[in-house]
Structure 1
Amino acid sequence: MAVPSTTEKIYNYVDLDEIWKVHVKIEKESAKAWPNKWGFLMESYNETLQKSGKVEESMAKLELPKHLKTRPPTPPEKYIKVGPSPPVPKTTQALIGWRSAVPELQLERFGKVNCGKKSFLKELGWAFDACS
């Protein structure tokens, strides 16, 4: 009798997460140690740039085209209007839902939420227990 072979790989997500954490830790430690080991390369690179006169060219600031520039942020007071709150109820029982009793403060500003009357599974012609 033949033994069925599975082509699916079995993953242990906890082990994969631990491996990822070790990689991140090594990267952080390497980034901290790099200036001590290889920082002299940056000094010689900067000296070479200054000697060649390319420092000014690399430091030149490019001007963005007009269509890529961003506008300064609009102050929130311009488009958000906050009115006064109704008086706070005197009892804790009246405190529940006291803001929703005022029509201007209700969350449903655009009417009631209508739930769908159709079923996605019924539209596809699937059995209702097809999805669990």
Structure 2
Amino acid sequence: MLTSNKMSQVPPNIQLQLLKTYTDIEEKNAKNWKSKWGWILGEYKDLKNRLKQRTDVSEVMEKAPITDPRKILPVPKSVNHEYGWVCSKPEFCLQIYGPDVPNRRIPEKYCW
């Protein structure tokens, strides 16, 4: 493919012809894709069905219900209701450890 510097040297009618040729090639390849590579879709569908059958039978893949013990009350009717009211609750605090936790260094055996 021509770069932008070389493309500026090509006359506009040739640029248009190149664009048409590239577009025709893309359309032809899109039409022929299913006949050449359509078998991959069948393989993928079979694999998906086999995995679904195994996960339905598997004891490891049991789905446990997810419950969130935190509780959010409705937004308070105040001027400051847009921010800060959830952060004031300790269960929603993002700073779990606080500022007084020392920074840990990487052990020297990892050569950092």
Q: TM-score, normalised by structure 1?
A: 0.32
Highest RCO, 1 vs 2 (Cα 8 Å, sep ≥ 6): 2
Q: TM-score, normalised by structure 2?
A: 0.38
Higher alpha-carbon Rg = 1
